[in-house]
Structure formats: C-alpha cells, structure tokens
Structure 1
Amino acid sequence: MAFARHESGLRAELAALLSQVHPVFMLPPLAASWFGAVVAGDVTMALGAVHMVAMFFAVYTAHVKDGYIDFYKRGEDDDHPLTSRGCRIALVGAGVGFAVCTLALGILVGPGAALITLPTWFIGYMHAPQLDTNPVTTTLGYPTGIALSILGGFFVQTGTLTPAIVGFALVFLTTLAGVKIIDDEQDYDYDRSIDKRTVSVLLGRSPARTLAVTLLLLGLLGVLWGAISGLFPPASPVAALAFGSVVLVARRARPTIATMLLIRGAYVFLAFLLVAVWFRPLSGTALPDITVLGPYTYLATEVAFGVVAFGLLSYAGALRSAARTIAAVYPIAYVWDWYTLEVGVFEIVMRSGYDLFGIPIEEHIFMIVVPALVLGFHEAMGAVAEPTPAETTSTQPADDD
C-alpha cells in the first residue's frame, strides 16, 4: 500500500491521489491560465494546454505538501488519505510533471516562458511550512500564483507581456488577497492558539476585515480605471459591478459564509471578464449623450445624484446630522469655488447661466449634493447590522490551502 492509508487496491490508491485535487482551489489557476491566453487573442491550444497542465502540477504540489505538513509534521489535521511515503512520491511525481511542462514551454516558446512559469511551483512547494506562517506570504501566496498563471498563460501565446495583462494580474492579485484574508479568518481561534500569524491574528478580526474589503474594492476600482484608460475592454466594469455586489453582501457576513460568497463571486468575476475580453460587447458604442438637455445638463446630473443622496440619508435616518455637516462645510467650499472660477481654473459649459452670489447656481447645488452623497454612503453603510459574532470553531482548522 504505497499511497492509501486506509484501504488497499488500485481504486483506493487512485482515490488517495485524487483526494488532493481540491476543485475549489484547483480550478481558478487553470482558468486563470486560459484567461491569459484569451486576452492574448490568437490562442494556440497546444501551448495553452501545456501551461495549464503545469499550473495543475504546481497547485497539486501545494495541496499534497500542505496536507503532509499539517498531518505528519504539525499534527493539525485529524486524518490524511495519503501515507507519508505516498505524499513524498506524489510530490516527486508532481515535480517531475511540472519540470517536463516547464521545459517544453522553454523549448517551444523560449526561456521567458519557462522563467515566468517556474515561480508557481516554488510557491506551491513552499506554501507549508515556510510561507503559511507569515501574514504577508500566507495572504499573497495563492493570489500571486493566480497572477502568475494569468501572466504565464498570456506569455506562452505571445512571447511578451503588455500593460493590459499586467493590469489584469494586479486586479486579481489585489482582490484575491482580500478574499484570502477573510478565508483565514475562519481559523482565527485555532491559528491564535498555535501562534500562527495570519492577518486576522496580527491585526485582529475587525481591522483585518476592513483591510480585506479595502483590497477587494481597490481591485474592483482598478477594473474601472483600466476600462476608462483603454487597457481593458469597455464591458469590464460589468464584471466589477457583479463582484462588487457580492462584496457588499459578504462584508458583514460570518467568515465561512463570507468566504463561500466571495469564492463563488470570484468565479463570476472571472467569467464576466472572460466574456468582456472574448466578445468585447460595447466596443465602439458611444457614451450616452446627455447634452441634449442643453444648458440644464449639469443641473440634471445634480438632481439625479441629489435624489440618491437624499434616499441614502433617509434610509440611515441621518438627514439632520448631514444638514449640519453640510452647513459647516459650505462656506469653505463656496470661497474655494468662487476663487477657482474667478482666476479661471475651470469653466462650466453646460449650465443654465443663472448666477447667485458670484458663482453659477449649479455650483451651490454641487456643494450640497457632493457632501450629502458622501455622508449618505457613510451613514447607510453604518446602518447595516453589525456582523454577528464569529461562529465557534473547533480545535482543528478549516480545510484550506
């Protein structure tokens, strides 16, 4: 019995080996490899398949090594389907498979393809016990692997990297780092008891959750920046909007529920981006021209955003407190606005032409609507129920990688 700990026979041996294929963690790197290939445009399937198989072996290495360390070295897990010898053989086999794929990429594409692929195996092999005890490396290990998979999938097709593919890699690195922080929060009590320094243990649950949500939103904002700058397809913000809605729901959820939502949301995020890159909907479509409203264009936008601000403040029951804050800020904003208009810093074209106290009427409304909108979002987010107490965890950690 070389591989299976509990049973014998060929079926048991194969089942033990396949037990280290964790679809939730295995599929994203493989999909990321093909996403990079799709961004490249003209896809050579054979090259894409070799790179994908390399990513499989890298992640398989991480799963086997992590299980081996947690069960046989640390005693953290209650059970493990592979024998100690089986783990070592599986690691050698996965390493050889990865080496063959990497060498093939180096021959078929060039040394650059091998060099951009190689780090993924080291990340997988060193995940435990080297990388998973430091708050930075335990958080960024898996996201970095995904980012490298995207870059590698693109490089093996083109032999180069572009700002667009680097931008996509950074978006996934940032957003998945946020997901990983929340994922590690599931094991907060256990990790703290063994002095395992995850971000949650280092910073505390609430600050860590704030950092995670900030990283998620920063990554999604990066999609908007990329689309407006022309690096990403124009439909890319739809993916960010879809994932962003999941983030808003998950930000207050318990760690297990939040992780479940965010992982599935990340799949949707990748799928929408894949559609945006492959089919390029909205390409060549002009922005809606609201200047048909003529001199009342600016005023109409202020009314629209003012309605949103009023709704948010009403929902949060903060109309009076917001009014006091706006009244306090208004004099400073008025002087600032008057001065910049007076010296010619900017000019308002689509306005009604009516002035009040030396500045356009629209600017007075702007100085009310903008702080009201900011306060509205702030108060409405605060009005959402506080997260429920973290669920009780067992003395053993959750099954994650």
Structure 2
Amino acid sequence: MVAVAGVAGSGKTTLGRALAKTLGAPLLDLDTMTNPLLDSLPAEALGGHWLASPHRATIRDGRYAALLTVAVDVVATAGTAVLVAPFTAELQKDDAWNRLRTVADVRVVHLTGAPDLFAERRAARGADRDRHRAPDGPSTPPSIPVISVDAELTTEQQLLRVLVALDRRSPVEAPNPLFAAGFDAVLFDIDGTLADSTASVLRSWRRFATEHGIPAKAVADNHGRPARHLIDLLLPADKAEAGLARITAIEIEDAVTVRPTPGALDLFGSLPDSRRAVVTSCSAPLARARMAAAGLVTPPVTVTADDVRTGKPDPEPYLLAAERLGVDPARCLAVEDAAAGIRSALAAGCTVLAVTGTSAAAELKEADLVVDGLDRVRFASRDARIHLIVGPGNGVERSY
C-alpha cells in the first residue's frame, strides 16, 4: 500500500491519481470520501465550517477512521491501495502512524516544497474550503521513513521518481547495439543526469518569473538549453545582462537542495579524469555549485555555457569536450536527460545513453538507449576501451 502525504496545495491528489493508475491500484482520497458529507452539514451544528470548527480534532479523527476502515476492506479484496491525505500526524512516529500500519505494509510518499508555492496554488484553485483552512504551521520533518518528492516537479517527473523508489523499474533494453560498442570517453550532462536539479531549476525560475512578472512555464519547455537562451526569450535586450546575473544568483543559492541522481556517484566515479568530461548548459559557477551539492568532483574537462558560442542542441558543446579530451566524438558515449542534449550529442557524432527523470522515455527516443536510472548500468574496461554493461543496482567495475 502507498500513502501520498502533503499539505493543501502540494499536489498530492494529482500525484495519487497518477500513481494509482500506473500501479493499477484503487485510489482512496480522504477529501473525496469525507468532504461531501461534511460540506452538507449545517455550519451552526458544528460551530462553524468543519475545517475551522471547535470540534476540528474530533472531526479529523472521524475522517481518518473512515479512510482507514475502507482501506482495510479494499486491501483485503484488491491487495493494495493508494491513499491520499495530509497524514500530518501519521508522518510522526506515534499512534496515528501505528494505526496506518495496521492496514497493510505502507510506503509513504511525502510531497515537500516552499510555503509560497502551496499558497499560490491554493489561491489559484479558489476552493471554498481554503478560506476556512488554518495557515500552515512550521514544517516538522517526518520521523518515519518517507519517499520525499519535491512539489516543484511536474506530476510526470514526480511519478518517475516514485516508481524508481518503489522499485517499479523499467527493464533495460538488452540486447542493444550500444552494449556491443566500445568508447574512448564518456561525456556527462549535469542537470537531471548526474544531479537531480530539476526541482531547483523550476523553483529558481519560478522565483525569477515572479520578480519580473513573466510566465515561468518557459523553462519547462526549454529544459537543457542555456539560461541566456531563456533570458533572450523572456526579457528585452536592455535587461538581458541584469536578468542573467539575477537568475544565476538565484540558482546558485538554491543549489544546496540538489542531490545526485540514482547511481550517479558510482557510475561517474568509476571513470578516471582522462576518460570523462562534463558538458552542461550551466554557467561555470553554477555547474561547480550543483556538482558539489551532489557530492561529485568537477573533472578537469568541463564544458559550460561560458565556453561555447552556441549551446545545446547545437553540437558545439560536445565537440569541444571531445577535443579537450583528445578523442574522436564518434568514439564517445554521451549521457543525457533532455531532448536538446540528445540532439546536441548526436549531431556531434556521439552515441547517447538517456536517463529518465526530467522527461519520460517517450520524449528521449532519439537516444540509442534509455534507462530509468544510472544505477541500471555500469562501465567495464576491455581492450583499453569503455564498455557499457547492464549492472545489478549500483554495482561498478573499476579496472582501468
């Protein structure tokens, strides 16, 4: 059984529905089950709206009792369920958590995010119940094991991460011609490939957009392209330099939230500096900040937006990385997570391994192979060349 938790406006219902559909599991949403009844009761009978009622604690206990009672029957007949509720008390190791665990073995997905994001979403949906909701209190970290997912991500991006955490993995396509090839070097993208920075990118551009009164959606439509490309689209020419400096500052400040993607530390660390490079649309300072936050050492050969005239999807970044390593780009494997990066690497003559997380597999189909995590593969050295092999979990083979 999976429980999706989060405060109002975190997107837990949307994620819960997507997860239930993907898993083929019944969906039990606390609001859907209990709100129609509570909304039909006269406010005077409760001493005010049920969310603000002096009986709020008792009402809360009754709502969760109804949810768990139904969940017992559903799990007994269907075998599993996806439960959606704030689960505020259940996130702490107390009686509420113990009651939830009596229903079935449960994995908790916890949606986290900035309070201003949740407030914006509640204001945008204009639901009557939000007028009676008490302001969010200080956030208390869960004391139970959770799968933490950033609410800045799209529902599809959240779902991709949850499925990996639940070990609902996509099979690696084998045999694939890529596994028979040998490479002189591996060229890695950073954002979404080595570093799970997608939420940081979205959060940073949302804040930038709020400051400048412009749509934030543009960043999602242009993932993998340099910041200057977005700035030129969003701001007039006379404000471009100041805008670029501002978004860089915001992104560097937020870089502390970045973590490595599954398998990135082992896969990247299994190669010597002479056989690896980083090719990113970040500026050099931002690339260093995100690599450091993800626990990755920036290699000597690092191509950033500061080093090229034309960024991805142009081939220039990958051509320059191969040149600096002294290898033929046709004998390089590029590791990417976005369509723009894949096209850049292919145009340079590289073979491409793509990883989902920022985009679903269908959006990465131009790559030679798509995996749902870098922990699905590893590198081995044979005949002085690098070979990609299917790996058990995070296993690596260091034989250089």
Q: TM-score of the superposition, structure 2-length normalised? A: 0.28
Decide which structure has greater helix share: 1
Structure with the greater alpha carbon radius of gyration: 1
Q: TM-score of the superposition, structure 1-length normalised? A: 0.28
Decide which structure has greater strand share: 2
